[in-house]
A = this chain, B = another copy of it.
Amino acid sequence: LATFKLTVAYDGTGLVGWQRQAAGTSVQALLEDAFAELDGRAVIVTGAGRTDAGVHALGQVASVTLARDIDPPTLMRAINIRLPQAVRIVSAADAPPSFHARFDARRKSYRYRIWNAEVMNPFERAYAWHVPAPALDVGAMREAARHLEGVHDFTTFQGAGSDVQTSQRTILQSSIDAVHELITYDVTGDGFLRHMVRNIVGTLVEVGRGRQRPEWVRDLLLAHDRHAAGRTAPPEGLFLLRVDYD
């Protein structure tokens, strides 16, 4: 048996997300089918985290164990030719037999992209949330984002249908940047609850619109109430950037 660590990039447009579903095309199913064809038996591919339908990844990480050993560059090529162009293994490496992409993940980084202009850029329509002009208050959003750094109970920003043991997470970075019409939210943490990044972004946009003050985010954290936050931002603006391991 040989275990591999894979880094996977995918354009989530039109996909049902990472996880295999009864209907629709998932990244996991595409990978598992490609590996099964190569390995001649059913193969399970484990992702560092689920991404929702329409969410993208530049650096999702997955683990897989195969019956036959194969050098990683050859493996990468053999799988990529079996995948649609929207999904690519961008690196592959040998891993110890115990390696588990989800359990061993220490930090994840996400980026959320907002296009803030009257007219949506056609090239951003599947890769950013269109928040029409007027201009959002980037300074207020930046200040609001900073309140999320540290150790907090993120119940308020948790989507419905979660079943996790604790809602406490440590956020190492939570920052807003803006270049012309493009506003970018970058967040790194030890873990994320369901819809957490998209709920945070919906909340930051409320602050950017001037409907709430930056301190509202701090109050929301203390409220532990999922109904208190802003709307869930749409999936197409979200990118899983990277997953870090020890």
Q: Which residues from chain A sit less than 8 Å from chain B, CB to CB?
A: 9-11, 56, 76, 80, 85-90, 119-123, 125, 127
List 14 A–B pairs whose Cβ atoms lie within 8 Å, in order of A's numbering. A10-B122, A11-B125, A56-B123, A76-B119, A80-B119, A85-B125, A86-B122, A86-B125, A88-B119, A88-B120, A88-B122, A89-B119, A90-B119, A123-B127
Main secondary structure of the interface of A (DSSP, over half): mixed
Other than the given A56-B123, A85-B122, 20 more pairs (CB < 8 A) read A9-B121, A9-B122, A9-B123, A10-B122, A11-B123, A11-B125, A76-B119, A80-B119, A85-B120, A85-B125, A86-B122, A86-B125, A87-B122, A88-B119, A88-B120, A88-B121, A88-B122, A89-B119, A90-B119, A123-B127
- In the bound complex, residues from chain B placing their C-beta under 8 Å from that of A90 are 119
| Bound Cα distance A10, B121 (Å) | 9
